[in-house]
């Protein structure tokens, strides 16, 4: 396990006051907020910041960390000595156990077994386990037919001595069809274990992996439809690949790039709360390469024969 230098993470001195630590955390939390940050690793950095702040903002945890980490350096191999935490009593982190589950091994080794204990007030009543949240990456095609995914999560589990410890938890999940980006799906009972009560639930937020031809907005799906110039100009009947197979579409004569053809009800299927989305085929005219001598001769002939200026004030058509 690697030693984590929480002071370095927050960019503060070891003698920093509680106020300086709070200020440093907020400044960096603003910089690395995953919703607005332009930094590539914002989400990972935010997790690191939360972890460092959870320790350094709590006087007991900070004192214990200072003691155990004396002389240790970031990244160095580290094992806490047995009984290192004797005489300290840790209260909650300010973060839920579910969030703390995303913290490093270093954190869970030091403070993990104290989680779920010493919760201020109402501990006796709050017996249901905590809900967990994660994201799940699907392909747009999965939304049409449902999908089966294996997901791996770090979760706190009660060990034989009654303490919470982190463990890797693998789930085999059936995703129903009709889900789309920004929607949540729920796995009942797959959150934290309860203390006497039922376990919490696991929520998965659906995200779609980028696709070269498809993109979704809600249940509506946009698919690019590559066309030859003559298909677009003269009209044609073409086969187009769509997320749930292929469709035969009639291209009207005079179709320009960017024109949308709507196929009603062929977007992401509805699943109880709403009807199916629509599928839009977006025309994209693809030019044959002029590296081919025959194509080159035809282009040259068009250039000679046609009075066509696409930038002309009257649309450029002769």
Contact status, residue 227 vs residue 159, Cβ threshold 8 Å? no
Site string for another protein, 38-57 (x = CB under 8 A): ------------x-------
Does residue 90 belong to the site contacting another protein (CB under 8 A)? no
Closer residue to another protein in complex, CB, 42/171: 171
According to CB under 8 A, which one of 14, 20, 26, 76 is a site residue for another protein?
A: 26
* CA dist., res. 33 & res. 130, Å (int): 24
Of 122 and 293, the one with the shorter C-beta distance to another protein is 122
Tell me if 182 contacts another protein by CB under 8 A: yes
Is there binding between residue 143 and another protein (CB under 8 A)? no
Considering only 47, 128, 163, 169, the residue that binds another protein (CB under 8 A) is 128
Q: How far is the CB of 51 from another protein (least distance, A)?
A: 13
Considering beta carbons, is residue 72 or 171 the nearer one to another protein?
A: 171
Query: Binding segment for another protein among 83-91, 101-109, 165-173, 227-235 (CB under 8 A)?
Result: 165-173
Stretch that binds another protein, among 71-79, 174-182, 286-294, 299-307 (CB under 8 A): 174-182
Question: How buried is residue 146: exposed, middle or buried, by Cβ count under 10 Å (0-12/13-18/19+)?
Answer: middle
Comparing CB distances to another protein, the nearer of 67 and 119 is 119
Q: Which residues contact 272 (CB under 8 A, 6 or more apart)?
A: 178
Please report whether residue 217 would count as binding another protein according to CB under 8 A: yes
Looking only at the bridges linking them, the beta strands covering 236-242 and 245-251 are antiparallel
CB of 80 to another protein, least distance (A): 28
Q: Does 215 interact with another protein (rule: CB under 8 A)?
A: yes
How deeply is 292 buried, as exposed, middle or buried, from its count of CB atoms within 10 A (0-12, 13-18, 19+)? exposed
Single out the segment in contact with another protein by CB under 8 A; choices: 12-20, 74-82, 215-223, 293-301.
215-223
Within 10 angstroms of residue 3's Cβ, the number of other Cβ atoms is 17
Compute the C-alpha angle 218/219/223, nearest 5°: 100
* Chain residues 186-205 in contact with another protein, contact rule CB under 8 A: 186-188, 190, 200-201, 203-205
Between 224 and 263, how does the x/- string for binding to another protein read (CB under 8 A)? ----------------------------------------
Q: Is 25 in the site for another protein (CB under 8 A)?
A: yes
Q: Which is nearer to another protein, 30 or 157 (CB)?
A: 30
Contact call for residue 173 and another protein (CB under 8 A): yes
User: Which residues here bind another protein, judged by CB under 8 A?
Assistant: 25-26, 29-30, 35-36, 50, 94, 96, 98, 128, 130-131, 133, 148, 171-176, 178-179, 182-188, 190, 200-201, 203-205, 215, 217, 222, 271-273
């Amino acid at each position: 396990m690697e030693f984590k230098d929480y002071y370095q993470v927050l960019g503060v001195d070891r003698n920093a006051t509680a106020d300086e630590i709070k200020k440093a955390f907020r400044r960096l939390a603003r910089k690395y907020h995953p919703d607005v940050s332009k930094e590539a690793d914002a989400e990972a950095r935010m997790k690191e910041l939360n972890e460092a702040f959870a320790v350094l903002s709590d006087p007991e945890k900070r004192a214990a960390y200072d003691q155990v980490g004396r002389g240790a350096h970031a990244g160095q191999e580290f094992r806490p000595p047995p009984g290192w935490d004797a005489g300290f009593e840790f209260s909650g982190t300010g973060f839920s156990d579910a969030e703390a589950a995303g913290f490093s091994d270093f954190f869970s080794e030091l403070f993990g077994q104290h989680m779920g204990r010493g919760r201020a007030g109402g501990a006796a009543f709050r017996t249901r386990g905590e809900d967990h949240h994660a994201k799940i990456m699907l392909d747009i095609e999965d939304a049409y037919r449902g999908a089966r995914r294996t997901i791996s999560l770090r979760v706190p589990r009660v060990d034989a001595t009654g303490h919470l410890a982190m463990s890797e938890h693998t789930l085999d999940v059936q995703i129903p069809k009709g889900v789309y980006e920004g929607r949540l799906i729920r796995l009942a009972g797959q959150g934290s274990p309860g203390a006497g009560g039922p376990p919490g639930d696991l929520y998965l937020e659906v995200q779609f992996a980028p696709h070269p031809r498809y993109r979704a907005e809600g249940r509506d799906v946009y698919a690019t439809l590559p066309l030859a110039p003559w298909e677009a100009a003269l009209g044609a009947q073409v086969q187009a690949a769509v997320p749930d197979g292929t469709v035969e579409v009639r291209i009207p004569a005079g179709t320009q790039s960017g024109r949308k053809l709507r196929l009603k009800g062929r977007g992401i299927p509805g699943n109880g709360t709403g009807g199916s989305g629509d599928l839009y085929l977006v025309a994209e005219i693809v030019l044959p390469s002029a590296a081919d001598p025959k194509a080159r001769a035809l282009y040259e002939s068009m250039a000679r024969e046609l009075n066509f200026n696409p930038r002309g004030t009257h649309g450029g058509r002769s």
